[in-house]
A and B are shown apart, each in its own frame.
Chain A
Amino acid sequence: MPVYSEKVMEHFMNPRNVGEIENADGVGEVGNPVCGDMMTFYIKVDNNHISDVKYKTFGCGAAIAVSSMVSEMAKGKTLEEAKKITPALVAKELEGLPKNKYHCSNLGAQALNKAIDNYLKKQSKTAKSQKGGKK
Chain B
Amino acid sequence: MREVYLDYAATTPVLPEVLEAMLPYFKDAYGNAQSLHNWGDKAREAVEEGRGKVADLIGGEPEEIIFTASGTESNNFAIKGLAMAQQAKGKHIVVSAIEHFSVLHSAKTLEKWGFELTEVPVDKYGLVDPDKVVQSLRKDTILVSIMHANNEVGTIQPIKEIARVVKKTGALFHTDAVATAGVIPVDVKELGVDALSLAANQFYGPKGVGALWLKKGARIIPFLDGGVQEWGKRAGTENVPAIVGLGKAAELAKADMKSRIQRFSALRDKLIAGLPSRIEHVTVTGHHTRRLPGNASFCVEFIEGEAMLMLLNHQGIAVSSGSACTSRALKASHVLIAMGIPHEVAQGSLLFSFGLANTEEDVEYVLEAMPPIVDRLRQMSPLYAKFLKGQKGGRK
Contact = CB atoms under 8 A, between A and B. Distances in A.
B303 A36 contact: no
A60 B382 contact: no
Contacts, number: 73
Nearest to B379: A18
A20 B385 contact: yes
Given A1-B310, A58-B303, A36 B324 contact: yes
A18 to B, nearest CB: 5
In this complex, the member of A13, A18, A35, A58 whose beta carbon has the largest number of chain B beta carbons within 10 angstroms is A58
B325 A57 contact: no
Contacts of A40: 382
Interface SS, B side: helix
Contacts of A15: 380
Interface in B218-264: none
Give the interface size class of chain A.
20 to 34
Given A36-B325, A60-B307, A13 B381 contact: no
B383 A59 contact: no
Contacts of B326: 2, 60
A58 B325 CA distance: 11
Interface in A27-74: 29, 33-40, 55-64
A33 B323 CA distance: 11
Given A61-B307, A100-B330, A35 B324 contact: yes
A59 B310 contact: no
B304 interface: yes
In this complex, the member of B303, B313, B383 whose beta carbon has the largest number of chain A beta carbons within 10 angstroms is B383
A119 interface: no
Interface of A: 1-2, 12-13, 15, 18-20, 29, 33-40, 55-64, 100-101, 103
